[in-house]
Structure 1
């Protein structure tokens, strides 16, 4: 079997698809090449509407699922072309799909991702592994976050040495999540970029605030920050996971009603909110070192604020480990596809809450 896999990730921010070509050995990996295919603004809005609108049509959902498959196929073909690799050299593709509803705490729990992966397989002629969350949910888990299992494999953390100071890995996408390597824990902290991006887009039309430059024009509103920090999710015990279906404009607007904050001050305060909830986890778990990945790693104001609220933590990005922060999650789904084909578990029960380790994913053979 080839050691080359492709990982595809469309995250909560819904800004595009990340594609990473990854070569694995027994205990390490190397990213050969990676690309990002941005979504067009109209298509991005249609995806966001699915996640936020309970009354979306079945036809629209099916259509977007097919369009995502076509975009994923474009990403795969471009990735292979730029890397000068043929499709028959790829063992499999691991695709996360795009989450439009995550409800692991329902009476009948589920986590729902779309993308027509059968169509993707037909278009590219490569085995596709997908639907990774469902088996974990069926086993009593949250179905997320799944990346902590990859973090532990990647960084070879045993989680058994209680004498060693705790190290953490923080992924800041639309939602932020943490992996505590020594404790073998992982969970969603809460909003990452989703509220920051929503507010910035509302006032500028741009998808994100580059380096936090717009938020820097504002100042902290302590009353607003403290009221938002009372959200019960932040104090809930792990395992826990969340998504845009919870932390969105409908969550934010009641905190702003009747107030006269400037929009720049709200931008700064939303950045501080994400920083505070991440820093709280670092401080509570007595972390000595934390590595940041995901889109939030480029928001220098956000990183400064995390450091401000967690001053004793040595804060870095995964660049310090020789891994570009933008491709960690795509690489994780390449790894998950490999786990599936090798008949190995892909979840970390201490992170998701599942009854035990499970082989994850559905396979569409080439």
Structure 2
């Protein structure tokens, strides 16, 4: 039996997710998952690189190598706990860390669009002895797409139903939806911030990395005028395909919105940011002609009890569950997707969903870095 490993480190930069999966005729079975924490210095460097700054090429080059080593270590630890050898693994699919995402939009020409992920795949292949597939987004961008989201094609394959309208809601740093109608083609797009603003605000005001279970948000009240200001962001008036990142939604975005108001408590800001995430997701789904749909959550936001409760209240024509009900634990869905994309690349099969990314057609995604 041959396995694949998927590696994902998302916008939240909370940890490296490594998923060991078995793929057979597009059936994807999760065998083991491992969370590998970022070394503090590397996490700080990656966060700094998400915004323009001095000496970027030197800093990026170092971070690229250091992240490659961390990703390789995560794989080797995963194989150790699973009792497997490198020879048991067909390939690693590594997303890498996005440090800049500039897709085409109304203000940027298609020829100026780019997306940059680091985490040197040469280093991963060298230190694991496993063929590594990486750089998944840029081929889609070269074909006129957004390069994101890439997970809808995987969601369609493993979570689609002939009898039920489903929406897969991936809540990482950013949030994206995969719309899986029962009898129509799938599509999807980024809906806006997931955890990124809630994480940034609690880090800024309380020195904590995230709001566990949404408890701090639940202690406050949504400020309706601030919410309206946030939802007035131009990104939300644009139809999909579309994608976004820290370039748009970051702590400065929150600070700028707050300059229009006074005397909002910190916990009320957090409550409003949670509502902002929930409303931006729900409003995006409401624009689709799905009538009744079952929502399934994955990503770190699936563990936020307050956010999950709010989404449940907003889905007035269906239920809310997580992807565990469909066979893959929500913590490992995105990493498993990049294992699947690696398999698709090695078998000369397309990995993108043009209806989600806007690319001119299906494309084989990723570059191959052979094992030694």
Does TM-score exceed 0.5, indicating one fold?
Answer: yes
Q: How does 1:109-128 map to 2 (within 5 A)?
A: 109-128=113-132
Query: Which one of the candidate residues 206, 213, 216 is aligned to 1:214?
Result: 216
Q: TM-score, normalised by structure 2?
A: 0.94
DSSP-derived class of the 1:91 partner: strand
The match for 2:252 is 250
The answer on 1:69 being equivalent to 2:63 is no
**Counterpart contact for 2:178–2:189, Cα < 8 Å:** yes
Mapping for residues 244-283 of structure 1, pairs under 5 Å? 244-257=246-259, 258-283=261-286
Partner of 1:48: 47
Query: CA 1:56/1:151 → structure 2, altered by over 3 Å: closer, same or farther?
Result: farther
Further displaced range: 276-285 or 211-220: 276-285
Q: Which residue of 350, 360, 366 corresponds with 2:365?
A: 360
Secondary structure, in 3 states, of the residue corresponding to 2:332?
helix
Q: Is the 8 A contact 1:104 1:143 kept in 2?
A: yes
Tell me the distance in 2 between the aligned counterparts of 1:259 and 1:40.
38
Residues 212-267 of structure 1 show CA distances to partners (whole Å, capped at 9, x for unaligned) of 01111111101100111111111211110001111111222111015220000000
Query: Cα gap change, 1:195/1:287 in structure 2, threshold over 3 Å: closer, same or farther?
Result: farther
Q: Report deviation, 1:57.
A: 2.4
Q: How does 1:1-366 map to 2 (within 5 A)?
A: 3-105=2-104, 106-107=108-109, 108-157=112-161, 166-182=165-181, 183-257=185-259, 258-285=261-288, 286-366=291-371
CA distance in 1, matches of 2:65, 2:280: 36
Structure 1: any 5+ residue segments left out of the alignment?
Answer: 159-163
- Root-mean-square deviation (CA, aligned residues, Å) is 1.4
Any conservation in 1 of the 2:114–2:138 contact (CA below 8 Å)? yes
Shift of 1:287: 4.3
Aligned residues: 360
CA drift of 1:301 comes to 0.5
Tell me what 1:161 maps to.
none
Runs of 5+ unmatched residues, structure 2: none
SS of the counterpart of 1:213?
A: helix
Native 8 Å contact 1:72 1:120 kept in 2: yes
In 1, the alpha carbon distance for the partners of 2:237 and 2:36 equals 36
TM-score by length of 1: 0.95
